[in-house]
Amino acid sequence: MNAQPILVTGATGKSGRRVVARLRARGIPVRAASRTGEHPFNWTDPGTWDAALDGVRALYLVQLNGSRLVRPFVDSAVRHGVRRIVLASGRGLDDPDYIQGSAGIRHAALDSEAAVRDSGLEWTISRPGWFAQTFTEGIYAEAVNAGELRLPAGDGAASFLDADDVAAVVVTALTEDGHTGQTYELSGPNAVTLTEVAATLSEATGRTIRYVPLSRREYVAELVTQGVPATDAEAFANVAESLRLGKDAHVSDGVQRALGRPPRTFAEAIQGVQPSTP
């Protein structure tokens, strides 16, 4: 067994912790790096970079949204002898209107992808869409716990993706050959409306969970009443707007190409999972 570890940044996040668990289940040495995890790592503190990269053979790179830190970090990785990189990117980067007001994040993410492609290393890019776990351990988990998903998403749908499928793709790309130079756009197998999401969550949890469609104005006003700053409330509304417009309703083939099997459904992704607060 190769004793050189694989570095996982964002190791406490939804995909990162699943990648760490899968690698360790295979007996592969892992350096789990995050601001508060096992190995201290902070994107905004370059003083933590060298210790994270020392002796590493491959890395899963979860970038800091909106920053342009991936390029210098990749340069450092090259100097440290890293041979393989899997970058966590995002679906919708090819659409400049994917999320209103996200131009800065989009441009930074495109620069990150370019940095990885230009690195001279073995690279793979993961572009996941909406995680199914957004409703059980993400930004909408608290609403699910309260029994109502109150969002300005109309009757829009998304091909929600199992975070475990994302981790499976990442681990495969980190540990197996044949994935260099691939960009995997990842989605679930079919589009699901929020009404269907609520029904599936109700069945999985044994509780009644409703989807209540709101207007954008109603949604922003509710968030502000709850103490959310108006600018943040507008940003959350922009994210929900992508659901209303069906920006993620299309199905991608990345899971099938990477793993040789179809992605798990929304129901399979949340089966046996109890909602928890973020």
pTM across the whole model? 0.93
pLDDT value at 249 more than 90:
yes
192 in Cβ contact with 132 (< 8 Å): no
pLDDT band, very low/low/confident/very high, at 66 (cuts 50, 70, 90): confident
pLDDT value at 240 more than 80:
yes
pLDDT tens digits for range 7-28 = 999 999 999 999 999 999 999 9
Distance CA 157, CA 244 (A): 7
Q: What integer pLDDT is reported at residue 278 of this predicted model? A: 36
Q: What angle do CA 139, 156, 132 make, to 5 degrees?
A: 40
pLDDT value at 167 more than 60:
yes
- Count other Cβ atoms within 10 Å, centred on residue 277: 8
Average pLDDT taken over every residue of the chain: 92
Q: What integer pLDDT is reported at residue 97 of this predicted model? A: 79
Q: Is 156 left (phi over 0), alpha (psi -120 to 50) or beta?
A: beta
Lowest mean pLDDT among 155-159, 228-232, 268-272: 268-272
pLDDT band, very low/low/confident/very high, at 170 (cuts 50, 70, 90): very high
pLDDT value at 220 more than 60:
yes
What percent of the chain shows pLDDT beyond 70? 96
Q: What integer pLDDT is reported at residue 68 of this predicted model? A: 92
Q: Cα dihedral sign for 210, 129, 27, 257?
A: positive
Q: What integer pLDDT is reported at residue 264 of this predicted model? A: 97
pLDDT value at 103 more than 90:
no
